[in-house]
Structure 1
Amino acid sequence: MESILLLLQGIFLQDDGGFLGFLGGDRGALGSDDPVIAGLIAAAFAVSGFGILLNLLNSAIRKKMIDQVKWRRIMKETRAFNKERMAAFRSKDQERINQLNKKSAYMNKLSMEMMQMNLRPMMITFIPLILIFYFVLPYLFSYTVAISPVSLNVIPGDFFQLTCTAEQAADPDHVCEAENAIFLWAWYFLSSIAFSGIIMKITKTTMELN
C-alpha cells in the first residue's frame, strides 16, 4: 500500500504538473526561476529533508491510527490461510480445499478490514502532502535540483520522466538546463522511496511481519 501511495504521488507530481499542471505557471513545471534555496547540493539535501520529514509525519499518523498488534495478527492469519490454501491446491487435497473454502468469507472480511486500516491514514496524509509539494516546495527550489550520471527515464514515453532528456536540455525555453538533470518532483519522489522503508522500520510501522 505504501508503494502505491508513492507511485500516485509520483504521477501527480511529474514535471508537467500532472493533473494540477496549471500550478506550474508559464513554465508548465513545478519549481521557481528564483528559488529561495539555490545550488544543486543544498537543494538536493533540502528536498531529501522534506521527504524524510513528511515520511516521519506519515509514520506518526499511521502509528497513531492503526492498532499495530491487531494489524499484525490479521496479516499473520491471512498469510497462513493463503499459504495453507495454496498447499491444498498443489496437493489436490479436495477435502482440505472444501474446508478452507468455508473459511473464505471470514478471511475476505479480515482482508477488507486490513485494507481499511491502511487507507485511513493514507486518506489523511495524501492530500496534505500533495498540497505541501505544490504550494511550498516550488517556491523554495528550482525546477531541477540534482544531476544523475545516467537517464532515469526507464518507462517509455513522456508519461513518467524523472530526468531531462538531451532534447529538453537543448531547448532554451525549457526548464532543463542539463541532460539527466533530475526534476524537483522526481528527487522528492526518489527521496521518499529511499527513506520510506527505513523510517517505517525505525518507527515500527512497517507492513512486514517480523
Structure 2
Amino acid sequence: MEVSLILNFLNSILLQIPGISQGQLGSADPLVKGMIPSAFGILGIAIGLNLFNAVIRKKMVDQNKLRRLMKETKAWQKERMAAFRAKDQDKINEINKKSAYMNKMNMELMQMNMRPMMITFIPLILIFYFVLPPLFAYTVAVSPIPLNFIPGGYFELTCTAEKVISQPNICKHENEIYFWAWYFLASIAFSGMIMRVTKTTMDLS
C-alpha cells in the first residue's frame, strides 16, 4: 500500500477519535457556500497536499535506493514462498540464512518511509483542525449509496437516516458525505496519479 494512503487513513481515523475531534468537523456558517464549490475546493486542497507530500518524499528519500531495496526484499520473499510450497527444506534453510539481513533491509525501508511522514503529518492535522473547518460545511457532497462499510458506527463517511434526525444541523439528507471524508476519498483517488507524475511511487511494475 502506498505510504500516502496509509497516512490519509491514519489522519481520518484520528478525526473520529472522541476527545480529539469534538463532533464532525466543519461549520454551520462556512466561508465557502454551496456543495459544488466546497467539493471542488476540497478536491483542490487534496491534490495540493498530495503534491506537497510527494515533493517532500522526493527530496528526503533516495528513490533509486528505495526501489532497489524493495526489489531485493520482494525477490527474497518470492523465493522463500516458492521453497515453502515445494517443501524444499535445503532451499528453505539456505534462504533463512539471509533472514537477519532481510529484516535489516525491511527496517531501513520503514525508516526511509517514515522520515517524510514525520514532516507532513503534523501540518496536515493542523490544516484539518484550524484551517478547513471554518471554510467548509459539515457535508460537501452527496453519495448515491451509503459509504459506511464498517459496522458499529465507526469511520462513517456519509450521513445516516438516524443522523439526519438526531443531527439536523450537520446532516440535511441521507448519504451526504462529510467534508473530511470527501477529502479522504479525493486524496486516495489522486495520490497514485500524483506519485507516478512525481516519480515517487512504490510500484515496482
Q: What is the TM-score normalised by the length of structure 1?
A: 0.92
Aligned to 2:15: 13
Letter in 2 for 1:126: F
- Do the aligned partners of residues 18 and 10 (structure 1) sit closer, same or farther apart at CA in structure 2, a change above 3 Å counting? farther
Unaligned runs of 5+ in 1: 23-27
- Do the aligned partners of residues 19 and 80 (structure 1) sit closer, same or farther apart at CA in structure 2, a change above 3 Å counting? farther
Mapped partners of 2:74, 2:167: distance in 1: 55
**Equivalent residue runs for 1:18-97 within 5 Å:** 18-22=18-22, 28-97=23-92
Q: Helix, strand or coil: the match of 2:140?
A: strand
**Equivalent residue runs for 1:116-155 within 5 Å:** 116-155=111-150
Determine if the alignment matches structure 1 residue 113 to structure 2 residue 101: no
Letter in 2 for 1:111: N
1:67 to partner: Cα distance:
0.2
Letter in 2 for 1:119: M
Identity of aligned residues (%): 63
- 1:168–1:174 contact (8 Å) kept in structure 2: no
- 2:5–2:191 contact (8 Å) kept in structure 1: no
Mapped partners of 2:167, 2:84: distance in 1: 61
In the alignment, which of 155, 172, 194 is matched to residue 199 of structure 1? Answer: 194
1:100 to partner: Cα distance:
1.0
- 1:144–1:181 contact (8 Å) kept in structure 2: yes
Q: What is the TM-score normalised by the length of structure 2?
A: 0.94
CA RMSD of aligned residues (A): 1.4
Mapped partners of 2:82, 2:167: distance in 1: 61
1:9 to partner: Cα distance:
1.2
Q: Deviations over 1:94-130 (max 9, x none)?
A: 2111111111111110011001100111111011101
Q: Helix, strand or coil: the match of 2:144?
A: coil
Q: Which runs of 4+ in 1 moved over 3 A?
A: 171-174
Mapped partners of 1:124, 1:81: distance in 2: 31
Q: Helix, strand or coil: the match of 2:20?
A: helix
1:157 to partner: Cα distance:
1.5
Unaligned runs of 5+ in 2: none
Mapped partners of 1:53, 1:18: distance in 2: 28
Q: Helix, strand or coil: the match of 1:9?
A: helix
Aligned to 2:165: 170
- 2:39–2:140 contact (8 Å) kept in structure 1: yes
Q: Helix, strand or coil: the match of 2:173?
A: coil
1:88 to partner: Cα distance:
1.1
Mapped partners of 1:132, 1:92: distance in 2: 53
